[in-house]
Amino acid sequence: MLGLSLGYFAFRKGLPLRPAAALYPILKDRINGWPGYLVDIIAVFGTLFGLATSLGIGAQQVAAGLDAVFGWENTTTLQVVLIAAITAIAITSLMLGLDKGIRRLALINLWLALALMLFVFFFGPTRDLLNSLAANIGTYVQEVPGLSFETFPDGGNGTAAEWQSSWTLFYWGWWISWSPFVGMFLARISYGRTIRNFVAGCLFAPVGASMVWLTVFGDSALELVQADPADPLAEAAPETAIYVLLAQLPVPGFVILLASLLTIFVVVLFFATSSDSGSLVVDILTNGGDPNPRWQQRLFWAVLEGVIAAVLLTAGAVSGTDALSALQTAAIVAGLPLGLVLVLMAVGLTRALRDERFVVALPAEPSPALGLRESSRRATPPSEDGDPVTGSSPEPETEDPLLSETTVAQFATTPAVATTSTSPSGGERPGRDPV
């Protein structure tokens, strides 16, 4: 929704690439006043806390991988050091620019992630994964409408409501807090696309990729757990589960080590690419929509994202609670006001589309009557009141452009026939058969 609104009002209406511009049908010129600035500030804080949550969770997963591979103790200090390392990679990419830094790092990350997924696919239960992919797609299509409205008013099985608040609501808030960052990115790369193409690409491409990724890793783990309920995967924490899965693949030990190192590197690059591109979007938002902010400003926001993530993790550890709880709370708090902004954007986009005048331009086709008219004129001799020089009939007052083109084409393809016509001096001179 946010990406579609930003792209429409920026490229169709010529407004700045700011979240406030998507509320122009509601706020009008006040998008350049305090209401518009408030919307942009909400988007900036939502993006900052959403990225900080990602950095914190990424640091936890990388630390768990280092613990599983090298035996390093997974402590808050290690996680903060990893946040600093990921932020340093993001800053380097950001300083190199969009093409030399952000784009190249994202492509490297994409190919490495694809290689990791294919490794698990070919060395895991390949045939069962193909069957599960079809079944998972069918289950998703059937169940997602009902699950979207499920709130477990009766408590479910006793833990369903708690699971929904700690997972479903957390991910909703997390994704919404990412909406300014991802929405602006989608808007910038979708110039020239129709709304239909944009919606189809944003809905089906991510969902399709997620289905394949979750089927390969998720069903590979489920196969092991169903075969042996006492498998270590049944009790593995979310951040360590992928390493436990890799350790049970039927490959030599050094291959498992390389796959685990590849996983750590992919996770680092995932969150580094998120941080650098997110910092660029925050720079653009705080620069009033300018796509080329100064490098000092890019550096400031990238460092601030890392600081926020480190503070949240440390605060969770000092308070004695799970560090993930602090990250989840930050994501939900940041996503709530952005959710209200998204509703207003939907209203504004609907109003703008209703005011559009859709004109369908169809190519003009000549009428069959034109051919009949020309044939009739060729067969009929010139009238007495015709042109005294050419002997042709007088031109109609209003001439159809298609008629003129047809006449020229017929005249050019008709062989010349010698005729005589009366000149003003009374003599006769050669001419052409009138068309």
Same domain, residue pair 97 and 197:
yes
- Using a cut of 0.85, tell me whether the model's pTM lies above it: no
- Decide which of 301, 327, 354 is a domain's last residue: 354
Q: 300 with 205, same domain? A: yes
Q: Residue 213: pLDDT band by 50, 70, 90 thresholds?
A: very high
C-alpha neighbours within 13 Å on the C-beta side of residue 138: 6
Q: Is 361 among the domain residues? A: no
Percent of the chain's residues with pLDDT above 90: 10
* Amino acid present at 376: S
Exposed / middle / buried, residue 123 (Cβ in 10 Å: 0-12, 13-18, 19+): middle
Confidence tier at 381 by pLDDT (50, 70, 90): low
Q: Would residue 220 count as lying in a domain?
A: yes
pLDDT at position 191, please? 83
What are 422's strand-pairing partners? 428
User: Domain boundary residue among 325, 354, 383?
Assistant: 354
pLDDT of residue 217: 93
Position 49 in a domain: yes
Q: What is the per-residue pLDDT for 405? A: 42
Average pLDDT, the chain: 78
- Structural domain of 208: 2-152+163-354
Among the ranges given (42-51, 113-122, 401-410), the one the predictor scored with the smallest mean pLDDT: 401-410
Q: Tell me what pLDDT residue 432 has.
A: 41
| The pLDDT of residue 377 is above 80 | no
Average pLDDT over residues 269-295: 78
**pLDDT at 91 exceeding the cut of 80:** yes
Claim to verify: residue 324 and residue 414 sit in the same structural domain: no
Residues 195 and 342 in one domain: yes
Residue 158 located in a structural domain: no
Q: Does some domain include residue 363?
A: no
DSSP-derived secondary structure for 40-53: HHHHHHHHHHHHHH
Could you give the CA distance from residue 93 to residue 98 in angstroms, rounded to a whole number? 8
pLDDT of residue 117: 94
> Residue 140 gets which letter from DSSP?
H
Confidence at residue 240, expressed as pLDDT on a 0 to 100 scale: 84
Tell me how many domains the chain contains. 2
pLDDT of residue 427: 45
Angle (CA) 13 18 19, round 5°: 100
Query: Residue 125: inside a domain, yes or no?
Result: yes
Same domain, 284 and 386: no
| Residue 357, phi-psi category: left (phi > 0), alpha (psi -120 to 50), beta (remainder) | beta
Rounded Cα distance, 199 and 3, in Å: 10
Q: For residue 360, is it within any domain?
A: no
pLDDT higher at 145 or 327: 145
- Give me the CATH number covering residue 108: 1.20.1740
Looking at the structure, tell me whether residues 325 and 425 fall in a common domain.
no
95 and 233: one domain?
Answer: yes
* 343 and 372 fall within a common domain: no
Residue 374 and residue 347 share a domain: no
Q: pLDDT, tens digit, for every residue of 296-317?
A: 787 888 888 888 888 878 877 7
